[in-house]
Amino acid sequence: MSIFTPTNQIRLTNVAVVRMKKAGKRFEIACYKNKVMSWRSGAEKDLDEVLQTHTVFVNVSKGQVAKRDDLSSAFGTEDLTEACTQILAKGELQVSDRERQSQLEHMFRDIATIVAEKCVNPETKRPYTVILIERAMKDIHFSVKANKSTKQQALEVIKQLQQSIQIQRAHMRLRFVLPARDGKRLKEKLRPLIKTVENEDFTEQLEMLMVFPVLQVCLIDPGCFRDIDELIRCETKGKGTLEVLSLKDVEEGDEKLE
């Protein structure tokens, strides 16, 4: 029986419990806070830094240790350390404060990086810096949701940012070659999806006994790409072609301000 002294009592507030149900039994292990995620990601390699004790419990808060028979039936071994690692790897846990914080921070940065990569200042056609985007995101009080993908949230945040700063998705530059018959008709359909047409060419071109007269180079919002692709594929029955000239139309390099 252990002596109940201040030094060797482990308060439950400082324990992260990892649970797992296996073979109809509940197993728990007592871990240190903020350590389980590191273990799972492989950054922490020392098991002793993660586990408070190499014991498998049925209930940590009550201090009920799991029975040997249950262990061997559930994990196929009586080795406690082996059981612990299995529970650590697959059990469910409550994410602790700093783990959550660092996870959200990472996601926030990731979102900002994605936004900065995709967007430009419409005036200058130049991208914003990540830091600036981060600040703008803080200004509009954007909060990260841990269960949504960063890319999805990035697309949402672009819409929100548009109300506070001048920002725009960088346009995609596309080129279509459309057959003559469908050209006129398709153009009307495409018009609402296209931002600007840079260049249009109606030259007659004989290729494979087919006429490809309409050549268009244009800028589109990347969000419309799917629709355009769909439209061209369906309407021309695979005869029209679509080529992406650049994924994002962005000004780069030095420009002297005058």
Partner 1 sequence: MGHTSLEKIIALQKKTPHIRNLCILAHVDHGKTTLADCLVASNGIISSRLAGKLRYLDSREDEQIRGITMKSSAISLHYTTGGNEYLINLIDSPGHVDFSSEVSTAVRLCDGAIVVVDAVEGVCPQTQVVLRQAWLENIRPVLVINKIDRLIVELKLTSQEAYTHLQKILEQVNAVTGSLFTSKVLEERAEKDAEAQSSCTENGSGDQVYDWSAGLEETDDSDLYFSPDRGNVVFASAIDGWGFSIHQFAEMYSQKMGIRSSVLLKTLWGDFYLNAKAKKIMKGAQSKGKKPLFVQLVLDNIWSMYDAVVTRRDKEKVEKMVTSLGLKVMSRDLRHSDPKVLLSAICSQWLPVSQAVLSMVCEKLPSPAEISAERVEKLMSVGARRFDSLPEQTQELKKAFLDCSADETAPVIVFVSKMFAVDSKALPQNKQRPLTQEEIAQRREQARQRHAERQAANQSAESPGSADTGGASTTVAPASGTEALSVKTAVEEDNKEHFVAFARVYSGVLRKGQKVFVLGPKYDPSLALRLPEGCSAADVLPSVPHMACCTVDSLYLLMGRELEELDEVPTGNVLGIGGMEEFILKSATISTSPSCPPFTPLNFEATPIVRVAVEPKHPSEMPKLVRGMRLLNQADPCAEVFAKIEISASKPIIPFRETVIRPPKVDMVNEDMGKQQKVAVIHQVKEEQTKYPEGVQVDSTGLVTLTTPNKMATVGVRAIPLPEEVTRLLEDNVELIRTMEQFSLFVWEDKTLDINQKILENIQEFKVKLESNLQGRKWRGAVERIWAFGPRRCGPNILLNSVEGYRRPSVWQCLEREKETEKAEIRDFDNSIASGFQLATLSGPMCEELLMGVCFSVETWDMKLSAPLAQQDSIDEDSRAAEPNIDNQNESSDTHETNTSSASSNRSRSGAEAAGSSVDCYGPFSGQLIAAMKEACRYAFQAKPQRLMAAMYTCEIMATAEVLGRVYAVLSKREGRVLQEEMKEGTDMFIIKAVLPVAESFGFADEIRKRTSGLASPQLVFSHWEVISSDPFWVPTTEEEYLHFGEKADSSNQALKYMNAVRRRKGLYVEEKIVEHAEKQRTLSKNK
- Residue closer to partner 1, measured from CB, 55 or 121: 121
Number of chain positions touching partner 1 (CB under 8 A)? 82
Partnered with residue 18 across adjacent β-strands are 29, 93
C-alpha 180: how far from its chain's center?
42
Identify the residue among 21, 23, 49, 61 touching partner 1 (CB under 8 A): 49
Residue 128 within binding range of partner 1, rule CB under 8 A: yes
Q: Is 110 helix (H, G, I), strand (E, B) or coil?
A: helix
> Considering the complex, what minimum distance in angstroms separates the CB of residue 183 from partner 1?
16
Identify the residue among 2, 8, 41, 147 touching partner 1 (CB under 8 A): 41
CB-based burial label for 20 (10 Å; 0-12, 13-18, 19+): buried
Judge contact between 218 and 196, C-beta under 8 A: yes
Residue 244 within binding range of partner 1, rule CB under 8 A: yes
> Considering the complex, what minimum distance in angstroms separates the CB of residue 132 from partner 1?
5
Q: Which of residues 150-179 bind partner 1 (CB under 8 A)?
A: 150-152, 155, 164-166, 170, 172, 177
> Considering the complex, what minimum distance in angstroms separates the CB of residue 86 from partner 1?
20
Contact segment (CB under 8 A) with partner 1 among 8-16, 21-29, 54-62, 64-72 equals 8-16
Residue 195 within binding range of partner 1, rule CB under 8 A: no
Residue 180 within binding range of partner 1, rule CB under 8 A: no
Question: What is the residue whose two structure tokens read 């244009």?
Answer: 218
Q: Round to whole Å and give the CA distance between 200 and 42.
A: 55
CA atoms within 13 A of residue 193's CA, in its CB half-sphere: 19
Q: Round to whole Å and give the CA distance between 217 and 184.
A: 15
